[in-house]
Amino acid sequence: MKEVISINPEFGVELTLALPYIYWLHKNNQLDKVVTSLDMKPFYYFCDDVEEKFEYRTIDNGAAGMDKIPNNWIYGMKHNAELYKEDWEHWKSFNDVERGCGILDYRKWKLPNYSEHYKNDEIVFDKPVVVISNRYNWEHGSLPLTFFDIGCLYNLFNYLTGSGYTVIYKRPDNTEFPLDQNEINTKASNVKLTANVEGIGLINDYQLTDYYEDVHLMDDVRKKYSHYSYNEFQVRLFANVNSFICMGGGSTLLACLFQKPTIGFWGRKMEESTRLKFWEDENNNKNIKNYHYMLNPNLVPFVDIDGDDMLNNGYKKFIALVEEKINETN
């Protein structure tokens, strides 16, 4: 009997755990139907029967239907590394990690090729394009902690535009898609990403883009392609861009689906920063079975656990990494 999958978890959880399983079912002729959140059909282009039902998401994986998925916890089971002992030299170092280090069971896990499927001649630019994907949301009951602030964006915009790139800046305002509890809290509190800029005064991150000829808000670019829904537009845009700079979380996981050069930032005690052996072991052996690398082997993580670089060092190490990697990969 073919399966009907009905899920409405957090966006990143759906992309990482549910979507690859659903595609595996499709490739093995075991998929009947997908029931998902509004505007998710572009991610399930391969399925003929997609019902966009859910108007809200939930951070409760049990309530979201994830118990029917082989991987129902994004950080993986503690002994998953043993599944790869035949082909992974360092599997023992990453096995039996008590809190899970991001290693999933990939036996029923396969990715669609979004870059190939959605590549197009419609959404194009005269220069190579870097997408900067930011967020400014409540995080499990707390005010926003992890984001690219205006000073960091200023440095990124200056470097990238000065190096000949067009920048697309994405920072959703939580009106574009079905929300989870964190996003609902953000919208209700009306928090804004602002800073006092010398000679200008108080501005927000959206207004900062107005000072650059080659920096564009993604929502402004989308207005030229209003015949597409939000997700239809961004999958077509992302299939055509050169690289990504992302705030860790769902925005990085989305970018990784396109397997382009991607720099992701994790800091301020995010789970991916603090979990033992999530990125590498004590001998600097890379956790190649971490779901981030399985989504995109071209990912370069920047981990700043306590925010020392981003808060106290003027972003110097992060900007240096961008300068090193962006030209190297484009």
Domain assignment present for 155: yes
First to last CA, the chain: 46
Q: pLDDT band at residue 312, thresholds of 50, 70 and 90? A: confident
Tell me the per-residue pLDDT of 109-166, one tens digit each, with 9 for 90 and over.
999 999 999 999 999 999 999 999 998 876 666 666 788 999 999 999 999 999 999 9
For residues 174 and 314, state if they share a domain: yes
For residues 127 and 108, state if they share a domain: no
Residue 191, pLDDT score: 72
Q: Is the pTM of this model over 0.95?
A: no
Q: What is the mean pLDDT of residues 80-94?
A: 97
Pairing mode, strands 166-170 and 129-133: parallel
> Which range, 2-11, 52-61, 195-204, is most confident?
2-11
In DSSP notation, 20-84 reads HHHHHHHHTT-EEEEEEETT-GGGGTT-S-EEEEESB--S-TTTTTGGGSS--STT--TTGGGGG
- Take residue 228 and report the two structure tokens written for it: 């597409």
Residue 266, pLDDT score: 93
Question: Which of 141 and 98 is assigned the larger pLDDT?
Answer: 98
For residues 178 and 219, state if they share a domain: yes
- Residue that finishes a domain, picked among 72, 92, 112: 112
For residues 124 and 210, state if they share a domain: yes
Rounded to the nearest 10 degrees, the angle between the axes of helix 316-329 and helix 150-162 is: 30
Q: pLDDT band at residue 174, thresholds of 50, 70 and 90? A: low
SS3 295: helix
Question: Which of 58 and 172 is assigned the larger pLDDT?
Answer: 58
For residues 170 and 85, state if they share a domain: no
For residues 47 and 189, state if they share a domain: no
Residue 270, pLDDT score: 82
For residues 77 and 141, state if they share a domain: no
For residues 208 and 315, state if they share a domain: yes
For residues 21 and 8, state if they share a domain: yes
For residues 93 and 19, state if they share a domain: yes
- The parent domain of residue 25 ranges over 3-112
For residues 212 and 237, state if they share a domain: yes
Domain assignment present for 274: no
Domain assignment present for 218: yes
- Take residue 45 and report the two structure tokens written for it: 């282009």
Residue 67, pLDDT score: 93
Domain count across the chain: 2
Name the residue among 209, 44, 190, 193 with its Cα closest to residue 112.
Answer: 44
Q: What is the mean pLDDT of residues 156-181?
A: 82
Residue with tokens 């190579």: 128
Say which amino acid occupies 216. H
Q: What is the mean pLDDT of the chain?
A: 91
